[in-house]
Chain A
């Protein structure tokens, strides 16, 4: 199973709503990521969780709140978003091995978020 599953695939939310994006992988990967991708732009890293601990926060506004309940799950809680936060949100995971060898990241299909 080499799949990263993201739900929902599409989400429309108002600026006062609270919603969550979910990501799941069953590959035993110990690093998980949230990326944001605007139209016709490359993905931009938001957060990295390594061994279920937040290791990188790329100065993301607090209206985005990540959570890693266990090694297979990654959530992104959304609150009081702005229309400019509309984007494709991609989750990814990768395996870290002894020695810190970097490996490829496996990406989910993303959640296409529209903030109205």
Chain B
């Protein structure tokens, strides 16, 4: 069975503060994919990043950075110098490799509120 846990349900920060979102996952698959999605109030899920299980290289993209640690089954996400537009719900997701398509298991989401 696959499971994704986002322990933080809501985080409130003041603009320009850094925000780190935690994600812990469980899977028996040896090959899997991890994702972060952002869901603003408009409802659309916006893809942010995908990580393959065999690629533990961490990444920085602008104000976003990701820390993937297979040994602890964690895939954390940091927003540096947060802005009001970063306010959204952020979902961590686990994807299986399967011929029938990309089945995503989502964590419960973390609501980020950035105050001016």
Contacts and interface: CB of A to CB of B under 8 A. Distances in A.
B64 interface: no
A100 B97 contact: yes
A4 B46 CA distance: 11
Contacts of A45: 103-104
Contact of B97 (A56, A94, A101): A101
Contacts, number: 73
B44 A109 contact: yes
A102 B102 contact: yes
28 contacts: A31-B102, A33-B101, A33-B102, A41-B109, A42-B91, A42-B107, A42-B109, A43-B104, A44-B106, A45-B103, A45-B104, A50-B100, A56-B100, A56-B103, A88-B43, A94-B101, A94-B102, A96-B99, A96-B102, A100-B98, A101-B97, A102-B97, A103-B50, A104-B35, A107-B45, A107-B46, A109-B42, A110-B44
B45 A43 contact: yes
Interface in B84-112: 91, 95-104, 106-109
Interface of B: 33, 35, 37, 42-47, 50, 91, 95-104, 106-109
A31 B100 CA distance: 8
Interface of A: 31, 33, 40-45, 48-50, 55-56, 88, 90, 92, 94, 96, 100-110, 112
A106 B35 CA distance: 12
Given A41-B108, A42-B106, A43-B106, A100 B44 contact: no
